[in-house]
Amino acid sequence: MTENHPDLDVVIIGAGPAGLSAGIWCKDIGLNAVIFERESEAGGQLLSIFNPITNYPGLRTENGREMRDRFLLTAAAYGVDIRLSTEVVEIDPTGTSVRLADGQRISSKAVILASGVRRRRLDIPGEAEFAGRGIIVSGSKDKELARNKTVAVIGGGDAALENALILSKYAKKIYVIHRRDKFSARREFTDAASAVPSIEFVFNSAVQKISGSGSVKEITVHDRTSGDHDLSVDLVLIRIGVEPNSGLIKGVAGSGPNGYLRLDSDQRVIGALVYGAGDVANQAAPTIVTAAGAGAAAAKAVLRLSVRRNYV
């Protein structure tokens, strides 16, 4: 079943910073666009930021949700068409139509893939079972849950160490467990964490299992030297990075070995007639401001290359 929109210039997939920015810029330069977002609310990874955002030029917000709300206010002022709980399951190779989960095929002159990233999972026993029952989502959001508890923070980057520092003000004990022999986090975080007596670093170790009865009680850790051992913990926070939501074009030339989109200078996915924007195409410097800028650039590239209208 095809839903024809003869005046639809671009379909945007994803309503995070890149997708919202692309939608706003499409309206600003006279393109008719629709944003499809598979989740029930817009925002993408902004909804997972619980700390103040202070480095977006000219705008400070208390958290990602407030930033999302600011984006939505602008989108509403421009009349951007955002359709929530609407999943795109297929992009036509020509980049001129998409198929939705309900079977509808929507045609347009161009597609911008701004599907963002998702938190990487450990994929170990207990990870799904104890979600919300001892596996927490954020040090800032769940800090009160950690009061006088023992917490395992899994990961070795900035996010892992920063969350450990936040939780250390509430928890009685924190294990930071990392599979390598040193952290990838910036020195400002590692030095600060090293100075906190309640934080213990566990290197060269990987969590194999999360166990409990009703809620998390322990984790099984594999040490490269000594083998498996159990640690009694009350809470687990997983911060092992993110991975791109690039499955819609998986296997095409534009998707690199790590799944991130590879774009040309016109924001087009290499090897596919699709435009890309935001974190799904930016492993090196994923930030809110770069995502928003990429969304704007993709919209203007669509105008110039796919719609070919003059814009002053």
Please, what is the angle between helix 158-167 and helix 187-194, to 10°?
30
Which pLDDT score, from 0 to 100, does residue 1 have? 52
Residue 281 near residue 307 (C-beta atoms within 8 A): no
* pLDDT tier, 51 (very low <50, low <70, confident <90, very high otherwise): confident
Strand pairing of 275-276 and 117-119? unpaired
Which pLDDT score, from 0 to 100, does residue 251 have? 60
- Residue 166's Cβ-count burial label (10 Å; 0-12, 13-18, 19+) is buried
* pLDDT tier, 312 (very low <50, low <70, confident <90, very high otherwise): very low
- pLDDT digits 0-9 by tens, 262-290: 999 999 998 888 999 999 999 888 999 99
Domain ranges of the chain: 2-119+242-307, 135-238
- pLDDT digits 0-9 by tens, 216-248: 999 999 999 999 999 999 999 999 999 999 999
Q: Which residues contact 67 (CB under 8 A, 6 or more apart)?
A: 46, 49, 53, 56, 59, 61, 288
What are the backbone dihedrals phi and psi of residue 305, each rounded to the nearest 5 degrees, phi first? Answer: -105, -35
The CA distance from 33 to 233, in Å, is: 49
Q: Which fold has domain 135-238?
A: FAD/NAD(P)-binding domain (3.50.50)
Which pLDDT score, from 0 to 100, does residue 171 have? 97
State the CATH architecture for 2-119+242-307.
3-Layer(bba) Sandwich (3.50)
- pLDDT digits 0-9 by tens, 171-212: 999 999 999 999 999 999 999 999 999 999 999 999 999 999
Task: Please check whether the two domains, 2-119+242-307 and 135-238, share a CATH topology.
Answer: yes
Lowest mean per-residue pLDDT among 3-17, 95-109, 271-285, 287-301: 3-17
The model carries a pTM of 0.89
Which pLDDT score, from 0 to 100, does residue 2 have? 52
Residue 165 near residue 140 (C-beta atoms within 8 A): no
* pLDDT tier, 143 (very low <50, low <70, confident <90, very high otherwise): very high
Is 91 a residue whose pLDDT tops 80?
yes
